[in-house]
Amino acid sequence: MPDITAVTHAQNIRYDRKAEALYIIDQTLLPGEEKEIRLQTIDEMVEAIRALRMYATEDKNLELGYTVNGQMMGSSITEVPEKLNLEVTVNDPDKSDSISKVEVVVNSGKVVHTWSDPAELNQGSLSVTLDPDYSYYFIRVTEGDGDLAVTSPVWVGESLKLGISNMVCGTATPVTDEELTLTTTLFNSEDTDATIKSLTYTIGGTVIGVDKGEGDKGYTLGKSSTLDVSFHYTPTAARVFTVQVTAVVEQNGKEYTFTKTIDLDVLNADALVYIGIDASHYNEYVAGNYKDSMGNFGNLAAKYSVRTVQLNSSEELIAAQIGAAHVLPALIKVASHRTEDGVRFDPETTIGIIYGELTAPFDSDRVQAVRALFADTGIHFRVTEHIREEIWSKFRLNVCNNLPQAILGAGVGCYSDSAHIKAISDGLRRELEAIAAAKGIDLSKAAAGSTHGSTVPPTARYSTLQDLDAGRHTEIDMFSGALMRMGRKLGIPTPYNEYTYHMIKALEEKNDGLFDYTPTDAVTCSR
């Protein structure tokens, strides 16, 4: 082997101030020829980078050469060979510097071979034969003082179309002591399924969570598909930090490792200014001309320690005013009618009031206080441990039984007498139940029936139709409007609810006189 110490080396990078030109070594000619490339224009620099005629080093004069089957760094080997012969030359002319290790790095940063024997490293020439299991290979050099150098890769065959495309935080303004949802999106554009064996989340090298899927069996990432995996984390201190997710993915018997990071600026919840946005109505800010600006507005506000909160329900609107600790979720099922002196109902034939805590303890002091309040009133009531499901159950009744008859303008008997109106009701039901399932709402937990109540006659007109009959605006924003917003957020189509929403909005416009056209003598015809 030739004495490499006798070879004269040029600088990797040098700048000629007089000529206003940058010079780099053409890595594609090494080791047979050492030649500088003159870079004086932007186009020349872009072309040099595109051709990958360089390596990056933290050491000012480290010399590094690299070939795979005779092809220099930056090359592509289109036809996959049976074996890959990697040749590396590395030298630092400074006697005070030493090479600590040289690694072969492949897809996603996995190390498949390491040279660390000082005697071998001192020779300056390294080689290894590997199987062509990956789509690219590059060299990473670590010096004794910690300086790093990396080469351009050599690509073998087609590039691997598998990995992490993104990681996002569910809120624009993370705050202390509030659970965050971090969603990692993985993609598989290959023609075979892959398995996500684990997702490891770290902050500053400290593991904060590991997800191996249900039963530690991992996640299946189907061919030509993407997969979103959520991780929940509650920060306890106001600070800026980076969360890294490391995904171990197996495909066709080969294991790959992918990483992604997200920077989070967690603010002190007590020091924030909160702005509540009424999203319970299908308004301009939620669904109109400004809807696409809401996220930008939230991000802008966060820079000034201001947090925007969309309030989607009556409970959230009330809680924003009096505090969530003072709100006990409840619903009422009552058959009432208007008279000249108000609204009347018969307590005996009313299903009554259903209420309860969202979480344990379900028999809390305030639940007991409400129970004592209703005692001996003659009003039917019951406590439930599934108040969220009970509320959604009534929500389903309002959407499926309240709305279609309002469009038709007929009594409740239409659902049994018309297959067409029943089909609309069923379509609304399917969309609602799909959204409920996606939100973790198990509607089977709601009570199936009650010993109270009375038979509903076929002439009965529910609240939405009553509002239209009286020329009032309806609660459609709280019904189909809410489902449309949730469906859009969850990626669930809601065509039945969109049709119903717009039809009832049009009926409101009709009541407002929008379609009271004045007759004219003019005749308009088309042909």
Are 195 and 220 a contacting pair, CB within 8 Å?
Answer: yes
Closest CA to 247 of 190, 165, 163, 169: 163
Q: Alpha carbon 293 to chain centroid distance?
A: 18
- Fold matches, 4-156 and 162-265: yes
Q: Residue 383's pLDDT is what?
A: 92
Burial class from Cβ neighbours inside 10 Å (0-12, 13-18, 19+) for residue 243 reads buried
Using one digit for the tens of pLDDT, what is the confidence trace for 344-385?
Answer: 777 777 778 899 998 889 999 999 999 999 888 888 889 999
Q: Show the CA angle centred on residue 310, arms to residues 309 and 313, nearest 5°.
A: 125
Q: Which region holds residue 236: left if phi is over 0, alpha if psi is between -120 and 50, else beta?
A: alpha
Q: What is the pLDDT of residue 287?
A: 54
What radius of gyration do the chain's Cα atoms show?
Answer: 34
Cα–Cα distance, 453 to 227 (Å, whole number): 47
Annotation: CATH topology of 4-156: Immunoglobulin-like (2.60.40)
Burial of 521 (0-12, 13-18, 19+ CB in 10 A): exposed
The confidence score (pLDDT) of residue 2 equals 38
Q: Which amino acid is at 350?
A: T
Predicted confidence at residue 8, as pLDDT, reads 38
What's the CATH code, domain 328-511? Answer: 1.10.1040.10
Q: How far apart are CA 1 and CA 35, in angstroms?
A: 23
Domain ranges of the chain: 4-156, 162-265, 272-324, 328-511
* Six token digits for residue 115: 């040279």
Name the residue among 454, 451, 463 with its Cα closest to residue 382: 451
* Predicted pLDDT of residue 74: 80
pLDDT digits (tens, 9 = 90+) for 485-508: 889 888 899 999 999 999 999 999
Question: Quick check: helix, strand or coil at residue 31?
Answer: coil
DSSP string covering 262-331: EEEEPBPGGG-EEEEEE-SS--TTTTSTTGGGHHHHHHHHHTTTEEEEEE-SHHHHHHHHH-GGG---EE
* pLDDT given for residue 351 in this prediction: 76
Q: Which parts of the chain register pLDDT below 50?
A: 1-11, 282, 284
Fold adopted by 162-265: Immunoglobulin-like (2.60.40)
User: What six digits make up the tokens of 248?
Assistant: 């171990």
pLDDT of residue 45: 64
CA distance 267 to 280: 27
